Amino acid sequence: AAPPPFSLPATMFLLVVAIAYFLHQMKPRDLGLAVGRSLPVLQKTALALGSAVLMARVFINSGVNGAGLPSMPLALAEGMSVVAGGTWPLFAAVVGMVGAFVAGSVTVSNMMFSLFQFGVAENIGAPPPLILALQTVGASAGNVICVSNIVAAAATVGLLGREGLLIRKLTPVVVYYLGLAGIIGLLSAAAL
């Protein structure tokens, strides 16, 4: 069965385009120019995001195999539970940050690492909602310094070619944010 049209992301984008077209009383030529300018940017983003989502799906669904092996996230969670133990809440946000930094997306980071984080939480006896929240907090921090967002921001404000400077300026903020999240997570896990 086909999904309902309003549950598809493209439907909302098309609806916004239609509303903007009428609201701003655009001419068909203006709409064509706007779409023409947007498509090259969307193609690059769609390719990167599509590739990241495919990689995440393979990672997540690796448990469906003929050998009866656990999925990659759960196998990694088992090992990390042994290594980090009860201190895991201190580091959980870092995994989210790395995922978003590499993938360029909080959503993809959460898709890739939520099962891993859930597995670690269960193995060490920490509340899964807390560890999953730390995953998202970390992914949000990683999104601040992910290359695709830095390039887009630099292009928007006329700082093309200075992306390295932006990342260097933002990294201490991200480290502070992750440290604070880790400490709060560790204290919260101990209290719950």
DSSP states of the chain as a string? Answer: -PPPGGGSHHHHHHHHHHHHHHHTT--HHHHHHHHHHHHHHHHHHHHHHHHHHHHHHHHHGGG--TT-PPPHHHHHHHHHHHHHGGGHHHHHHHHHHHHHHHHS-HHHHHHHHHHHHHHHHHHHT--HHHHHHHHHHHHHHHHHH-HHHHHHHHHHTT-TT-HHHHHHHHHHHHHHHHHHHHHHHHHHHHH-
The pTM assigned to this predicted structure is 0.74
Domain ranges of the chain: 40-191
pLDDT digits (tens, 9 = 90+) for 40-68: 877 777 777 778 778 878 888 888 888 88
pLDDT digits (tens, 9 = 90+) for 106-142: 998 999 999 999 999 999 999 999 999 999 999 999 9
